[in-house]
Amino acid sequence: MPRNLLNRVLPARAQLRERWFLRPFNALLHDPALWATHRKNVLKAFAVGLFASFMPIPGQTVLSTLAGLWLRVNLPVVVLASWFANPVTIGPMYYACYRVGSWLLDRQPGGFPDAVTFEWLWSEIGRVWQPLLLGCLVLGTVVTALSVLLLNQIWIRMSRRRFRERRRFHPWRRQPPA
């Protein structure tokens, strides 16, 4: 089921080759491993994209795509997983990372002023960057590992259920003696 769903949802390689903005990358995108939808490839791609989404840098999608090309994993899954950090989730996600990093470094997390200004943000970045980066690395690793384990179990159980259903309804299956 997961493979069939991915094959239905993900764009075809031929469609992407025709896009004008991807033409310069046709030499890189010819590798079949970048489009494979088997379990291990998809899980690696999901891990790369999700971990990259926790990095507090601009261009997470570009970073994860380059890592996906280097590791030869499913590129569409890498890009989709890297979008976990979006404008809705990025605030709570980075705040949780900052709190975890502050706890690990045994620092007291700072408070917010009544009016957040650019000057205040710029003055606080020197104090905040270490706990934020550590928290992003730790939470990125933990969330990625747990998500990959969960996705792996879901994939295996769905595949086993589908195999059992296919075996049960096979027309040439030998019937047990009555």
Q: What is the pLDDT at residue 73?
A: 93
178 falls within a domain:
no
Tokens of 126: 């020197």
Residue 176 located in a structural domain? no
Give the mean pLDDT of the chain: 83
* Domain interval for residue 154: 2-168
Q: Residue 148: inside a domain, yes or no?
A: yes
Gap between the Cα atoms of 158 and 42, Å rounded: 15
The whole-number pLDDT of residue 1 equals 46
Q: Is residue 177 domain-resident? A: no
**Range in 6-15, 30-39, 68-77, 114-123 with the lowest mean pLDDT:** 6-15
First to last CA, the chain: 33
**How many separate domains does the chain show?**
1
